[in-house]
Amino acid sequence: KAVKNYDNSLKVSAAVFATPKLAYEYVFQNWTIWGLDWYNPMIYHEMYGEPSTWIGDAVREASLRGVDVCAGILVKYMRSREETINAFKLAKENGGVGVTVFVYPFARAELRDWVKDALRELKEED
């Protein structure tokens, strides 16, 4: 509220645990009620022992609670260009308003091109 009181045109977001259910189970974080403009759940699928297709499931869980989600994807877990494109598409198809790319820095040179290709494909679909 303090940010909005200062300047209502500013948008407020937060990086949060992967899904509302996991967030509450792990750290009692109930982020879907925080009233932010959007959320960037850190959907690091390999950390949870899940395939990249789980990104869509995680986004859907949050979207069904009525919040705007930009799927936080840690691209070092992507194994191919196709997997990267599919992960980004799954985020959008399951209610995501966008994708947040987490990178510390690009672990492999090809990841930069895969991200560019995935973003280009999302843009072409809009």
Structure tokens at 29: 């974080």
| Average pLDDT of the segment spanning 46-74 | 97
Over the stretch 108-125, which tens digit does the pLDDT of each residue have? 889 999 999 999 999 888
Residue 105 pLDDT class (50, 70, 90 cuts): confident
Any alpha helices (H) in 7-107, and if so which ranges? 20-27, 54-63, 81-93
- The fourth-level CATH superfamily of domain 11-125 is Aldolase class I (3.20.20.70)
How far is 77 from 67, CA to CA, in rounded Å?
Answer: 26
Name the nearest CA neighbour of 26 among 10, 42, 12: 42
In sequence order, the 6+-apart residues with CB closer than 8 A to the CB of 80 are 114
* pLDDT tens per residue across span 30-56: 999 999 999 999 999 999 999 999 999
Q: DSSP secondary-structure letter at 104?
A: S
Task: Examine the pLDDT at 104 and tell me if it is beyond 90.
Answer: no
Mean per-residue pLDDT for 5-17?
94
> Would you kindly state where each structural domain of the chain is located, as residue ranges?
11-125
3-state secondary structure of 16: strand
pLDDT band at 26 (very low <50, low <70, confident <90, very high): very high
DSSP H helices in 14-80: 20-27, 54-63
